[in-house]
Amino acid sequence: MERLGYIIWDPIHKFNLWKNFFIHVYSLMFVISFLLGWYIMKYFYQNDNINKKYLDHLFIFTFFGTFIGARLGQALFYDFSYFSDHWIEIFLPIRRNQHNFLLGFIKGYEFIGFRGLSSHGATVGIILSSFFYCKTILKDKSFIWLCDRLCIPISISSVFIRIGNFFNSEIVGKPCSEKLPWGVKFVQMDTEYGEIVPRHPTQIYESISYLIIFLLLWYLYKIGKKNHNGFLSGIFFILLWSVRFFLEFLKEPQGKETINFLSINTGQWLSIPFIIFGFLLLNVSKIKKYS
């Protein structure tokens, strides 16, 4: 009997740590991402003799920029039809309950946590929050200087976020051959798409790609390429969003996408401006030195 090559995967949403105390895998990946990012930025700040107090402010700016941008991006580009009628759910971890559940003073809602974060929206949020951070807190350094360092922890953070998506069986790939050794049969998502077939583990594809980008950026930083303003962040935007653009061809549609024409989906159209931005940063790096 011929052995099938694919892997059967049931989602693992949370782990039971103690009695009734659970931790959601995606939330854990989110926490690891921010903690690891904080330590990497601490290393950069120490290298440039920047007071640690400025790093604490950066953490706050980045956290809120990421969260607000990610939720708004999800609402505007992937689930607008739903959130337009459930706007309170964009920033509060609740959902309407038909059983008239009472949650504090909010009648008719239940706690569900946050579901749905857009990486494109998060990127815009981080760009804006970083810009205001440089203008109001870290005034001695330029916005591009910060981008060249912040892009490195963001690269490794993206690895953990996609691992969280894999555990949750989110952002699944299109069907692949049953003989593909790393093909995955996502039990939960197969029901949604109506096809009980192995699929490309696009979350893992992205995780590996982002890890390679992180290692490349770290190497370039260590060998001295950091002395060109915009070089590292330019490489980051071009590579990361090009990976996202091409891997979208292997993914199933996500939610009710608002942009989908010329055989290019929402994620791909939203990636193009970031790729262009990367080339602009590379151009800036050729003519401007660090301040």
User: In the predicted model, what is the mean pLDDT of residues 274-282?
Assistant: 94
Greatest distance between any 2 Cα atoms in the chain = 68
CB atoms within 10 A of CB 98: 7
Contact 152, 216 (CB under 8 A): no
User: In the predicted model, what is the mean pLDDT of residues 201-229?
Assistant: 90
CA distance 198 to 187: 9
> Mean pLDDT highest for which of 46-60, 70-84, 109-123, 251-265?
46-60
In degrees, rounded to 5, the angle at the alpha carbon of residue 125 between the alpha carbons of residues 141 and 214 is: 70
**Beta bridge partner(s), residue 184:** 7, 199
DSSP SS3 for 182: coil
Ranking 41-50, 59-68, 99-108 by mean pLDDT, the lowest is 99-108
Phi, psi values for residue 85, rounded to 5°: -110, 0
What was the pLDDT predicted at 180? 85
**Beta bridge partner(s), residue 23:** 15
Domain extent listing, the chain? 7-79+116-287
Per the prediction, the chain carries an average pLDDT of: 82
CA distance 133 to 58: 7
What's the predicted TM-score (pTM) here?
0.84
Question: Which DSSP symbol is given to 105?
Answer: T
The residue whose two tokens read 């260590």 is: 222
CA distances 101 to 98, 107, 109, 207, 275, Å, are 8, 6, 6, 39, 45
CA distance 146 to 75: 28
The residue whose two tokens read 């609740």 is: 94
What was the pLDDT predicted at 290? 47
The residue whose two tokens read 């809120």 is: 64
Q: Which residue has better confidence, 183 or 108?
A: 183
Residue 83: name the closest of 51, 117, 43 by CA.
Answer: 117
Q: What confidence category does residue 92 fall into, taking pLDDT thresholds of 50, 70 and 90? A: low
Tell me: the pLDDT tens digits for 144-162?
999 999 999 999 999 999 9
Question: Which DSSP symbol is given to 21?
Answer: E
Tell me: the pLDDT tens digits for 57-84?
999 999 999 988 888 877 777 666 666 6
User: Percentage of the chain with pLDDT > 70?
Assistant: 74
Tell me: the pLDDT tens digits for 124-136?
999 999 999 999 9
Residue 237: name the closest of 202, 283, 273, 207 by CA.
Answer: 273
What was the pLDDT predicted at 225? 60
What was the pLDDT predicted at 191? 61
CA distance 149 to 283: 18
Does pLDDT of 42 surpass 90?
yes
Question: Which DSSP symbol is given to 93?
Answer: S
CA distance 204 to 162: 7
CB atoms within 10 A of CB 22: 12
Residue 230: name the closest of 149, 164, 173, 166 by CA.
Answer: 149
Q: What confidence category does residue 1 fall into, taking pLDDT thresholds of 50, 70 and 90? A: very low
Structure-block tokens of residue 144: 């591009």
CA distances 207 to 72, 117, 150, Å, are 24, 17, 18
Q: What confidence category does residue 280 fall into, taking pLDDT thresholds of 50, 70 and 90? A: very high
